[in-house]
């Protein structure tokens, strides 16, 4: 039996179709990524799975319990950990009081070990917690009763990069112990580090469920280069190149060239960027013909992947500015 089974799950808020006919299953021991841009319906799906929202149609079961069957869900919740998107606790309570409450109701076999790993200022009032500490307290309460299944909504938001790394290691270790982990994210690079499979949600509909390797194979690399001299506009034509853009830089060229040792007698720099989905060796061979002022080759951001595979959307709605960290948007000001 699957640990999570979602079939035809639909949730409408009046006229708004938050989630529409979503189907997926998560097997025992999997780390499953639930990927999609902000506003795609990830949180609504998760909260419906947990019985916080009732589905408009379809159903979701977790550990065999139907999300709308309260007695079955209460039994299942003994073995489920949940970390919501913005874990919130009583401001005036201390972390210790919160964990004591949770311990008294669901148990706390792993509390000490988790607190060692994710240091939380237990005796401070929650009101004085940073968002990172709140998130860590949320992680501790989600895992402390040694659950079989942990559902997390954007678990690494609010964590600093070091703690994100520690969290990823932790999730991998949990998988080794046989824990099933389901988590949502809007950041592909985060998901790729720990997930076995991903489902991609967009506009409330599931666009694909596939292994992380096949998704990464198709998503390609984002290439941003500054090349000394001129570049022919058709220089990078080919099936593997998508969204090619080039800009000639003349006014600042001297400055840019000065940081390199190039002695090519040129006074312009060409800025190019594109997404590359072919063999990485072919890409390097093509690039070899040029001299560079700068070169970035990064994993394509999720939005790029969406647009390439699933067609463009209204950009103003799909990409609220400021929602992506810098590493997710190598294009910087050219975000989609």
Here's the x/- map for other proteins, 59-78, by CB under 8 A: it reads as: -----------xx--xx-xx
CB of 226 to other proteins, least distance (A): 45
The interface region with other proteins, picked from 93-101, 234-242, 264-272, 274-282 by CB under 8 A, is: 93-101
CB of 102 to other proteins, least distance (A): 7
CB of 82 to other proteins, least distance (A): 4
Minimum CB distance to other proteins smaller for 71 or for 311 = 71
Q: Can residue 41 be called a binding residue for other proteins (CB under 8 A)?
A: no
The bridge status of strand 292-299 relative to strand 221-228 is antiparallel
Minimum CB distance to other proteins smaller for 70 or for 113 = 70
CB of 101 to other proteins, least distance (A): 5
Q: Most distant CA pair in the chain: distance in Å? A: 77
Q: Can residue 86 be called a binding residue for other proteins (CB under 8 A)?
A: yes
The bridge status of strand 4-13 relative to strand 16-26 is antiparallel
Q: Can residue 51 be called a binding residue for other proteins (CB under 8 A)?
A: yes
CA distance 271 to 269: 6
The interface region with other proteins, picked from 87-95, 170-178, 237-245, 296-304 by CB under 8 A, is: 87-95
Helical segments of the chain, H only: 42-49, 70-77, 95-106, 111-117, 131-143, 161-176, 188-194, 212-219, 253-258, 280-287, 302-310, 315-318
Query: Which of these, 125, 124, 103, 104, lies nearest to 114 by C-alpha position?
Result: 103
Instruction: Tell me, by CB under 8 A, how many residues bind other proteins.
Output: 33
Minimum CB distance to other proteins smaller for 89 or for 118 = 89
Interhelix angle 161-176/131-143, rounded to 10 degrees, is 10
Query: Which of these, 102, 107, 76, lies nearest to 3 by C-alpha position?
Result: 76
The answer to whether 1 touches 149, Cβ cutoff 8 Å, is no
CB of 322 to other proteins, least distance (A): 20
Candidate residues 52, 128, 248, 258; the one interacting with other proteins per rule CB under 8 A: 52
The answer to whether 79 touches 92, Cβ cutoff 8 Å, is no
CB of 24 to other proteins, least distance (A): 21
CA distance 289 to 242: 20
Q: Can residue 93 be called a binding residue for other proteins (CB under 8 A)?
A: yes
Minimum CB distance to other proteins smaller for 33 or for 51 = 51
Candidate residues 88, 112, 248, 285; the one interacting with other proteins per rule CB under 8 A: 88
Query: Which of these, 322, 308, 316, 321, lies nearest to 275 by C-alpha position?
Result: 308
Q: Can residue 101 be called a binding residue for other proteins (CB under 8 A)?
A: yes
Collect all residues with Cβ–Cβ distance below 8 Å to 80 and sequence separation of at least 6.
Answer: 50, 62, 63, 147, 148, 149, 150, 151
Candidate residues 23, 90, 279, 282; the one interacting with other proteins per rule CB under 8 A: 90
List the Cα angle 48/152/194 in 5-degree steps: 130
The interface region with other proteins, picked from 45-53, 219-227, 287-295, 313-321 by CB under 8 A, is: 45-53
Q: Can residue 143 be called a binding residue for other proteins (CB under 8 A)?
A: no
In the complex, the residues that contact other proteins under the rule CB under 8 A are 13, 47, 50-54, 70-71, 74-75, 77-78, 80-82, 84, 86-90, 92-93, 97, 100-102, 104-106, 138, 141
């Amino acid at each position: 039996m699957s640990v999570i089974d979602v079939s035809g799950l639909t949730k409408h808020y009046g006229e708004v179709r938050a989630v529409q006919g979503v189907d997926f299953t998560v097997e025992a021991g999997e780390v499953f990524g639930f990927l999609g841009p902000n506003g795609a319906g990830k949180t609504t799906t998760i909260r419906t799975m947990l019985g916080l929202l009732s589905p408009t149609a379809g159903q979701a079961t977790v550990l065999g319990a139907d999300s709308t069957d309260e007695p079955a869900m209460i039994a299942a919740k003994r073995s489920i950990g949940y970390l919501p998107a913005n874990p919130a606790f009583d401001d005036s309570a201390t972390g210790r009081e919160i964990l004591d409450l949770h311990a008294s109701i669901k148990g706390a076999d792993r509390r000490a070990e988790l607190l060692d790993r994710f240091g939380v200022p237990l005796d401070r009032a929650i009101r004085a917690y940073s968002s990172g500490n709140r998130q860590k307290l949320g992680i501790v309460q989600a895992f402390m009763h040694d659950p079989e299944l942990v559902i997390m909504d954007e678990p690494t938001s609010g964590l600093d990069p070091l703690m994100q790394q520690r969290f990823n290691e932790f999730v991998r270790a949990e998988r080794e112990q046989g824990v099933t982990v389901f988590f949502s994210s809007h950041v592909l690079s985060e998901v790729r580090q720990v997930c076995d499979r991903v489902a991609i949600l967009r506009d409330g509909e599931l666009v694909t469920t596939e292994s992380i390797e096949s998704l990464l194979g198709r998503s390609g690399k984002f290439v941003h280069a500054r090349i000394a001299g001129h570049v022919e506009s058709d220089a990078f034509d080919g099936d593997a190149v998508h969204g090619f853009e080039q800009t000639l830089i003349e006014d600042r060229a001297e400055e840019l060239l000065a940081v390199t040792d190039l002695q090519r007698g040129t006074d312009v720099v060409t800025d190019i960027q594109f997404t590359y989905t072919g063999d990485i060796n072919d890409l390097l061979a093509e690039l070899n013909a040029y001299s560079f002022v700068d070169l970035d080759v990064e994993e394509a951001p999720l939005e790029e992947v969406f647009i390439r595979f699933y067609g463009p959307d209204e950009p103003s709605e799909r990409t609220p500015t400021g929602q992506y960290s810098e590493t997710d948007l190598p294009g910087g000001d050219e975000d989609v």
